[in-house]
Structure formats: structure tokens, C-alpha cells
Amino acid sequence: MKIKQSIIITILILLTGCGMFKSFEDLYSEAEEKRNIGNSKDAIVVLNKIMNNYSDHEKASKAQYLIAEIYYRDLRDFSKAIDEYENLRKKYPESPQVPFAIFMQGFIYANMLSNFEKARIHYEIFLNKYSNHELAQSVTFELKYLGQEIQDIPELKHLIK
């Protein structure tokens, strides 16, 4: 009987240690901590645990958005970032992060990958759905000067001296 109890206790300790019983908030905090100390890949592992275990949580879209942001900002894996923003759009179409995800897809296509056609498509999707959003003016600006060099944009000439 004691052996059985020892095995059960050992299994519970192992499961607790691997994060199986951590709450959404605990895992999200852990991911943020890992990212803040420069362990972006480990942060993504934790965020993927959230997506696997808490995909129906009210803040799951926030975790999905952070995955995309880490790929874009920290790991500079632009194609993967675009894919992760798209995952957000598909899984959580009503999320307040969706307009930002669409904007970022267009921005990455335009400014990182120089794929102006795909950038235009995303920016137009954005304006069709979110014409009153706080980013609408930025999207309009991006569309107006899509593909142009910074020195050719009158509003930005002051940045290059």
C-alpha cells in the first residue's frame, strides 16, 4: 500500500513540476518572465502550453498574440510571425487583438519582406473591417507610400540627415 501511495505522490509531483496544474495566469507570467530575461524560445514553449491547455480561456488570444510578437520582435522570424498572427485571426476572430494582427501582417510584408502586393491586401482588409480603428490612419499612410524609399516620402524626410 505504501508503494502505491509513493508512486501516486511521485506522479503528482512530476505533473505539478511540468506545469500541468498551473493556471493560465501562472503560465502567462512565466512566459513573460522568460521573455524578459531573453529566453524567447522558452517563452514560446510556455505559451504553446497555454494554447494547448487553455485555448478557450478568455485571454487565450492575448497569449496567441504574444507568440506572434515574439517571432516578429525577438526572433525576427517574419514568416512564422505572419503565420502566428493568422492563427490569431482564425482562432479568435472577435478578439480585440485581430486588428493589430492584420496591421502587423501588412507591416511585415511591406517593411520586412518587401512583398508589397500581400501588404496591400492586408492593409485593405484592415481598412474594410476597421476603418475607425486607432491604426486606420497609419494603415492609410502605409498604403499611400507602399514600396517607396524613406527619402521619397515628404513626411519622413526629416528622419534622414
Residues of the chain with pLDDT below 50 are none
How far apart CA 155 and CA 34 sit, in angstroms, is 39
pTM, rounded to two decimals: 0.83
pLDDT at 1: 60
**Is residue 127 helix, strand or coil?**
helix
pLDDT at 153: 80
The three three-digit cell numbers of residue 19, written as one number: 506545469
**Which domains, and CATH codes, for the chain?**
20-159 (1.25.40.10)
Helices (H), the chain: 2-17, 24-36, 40-53, 60-69, 78-91, 98-111, 116-129, 136-144
pLDDT at 20: 58
pLDDT at 92: 97
How far apart CA 128 and CA 161 sit, in angstroms, is 36
Residue type, 39: N
pLDDT at 6: 66
Asked whether 39 and 4 are in contact (CB, 8 A), the reply is no
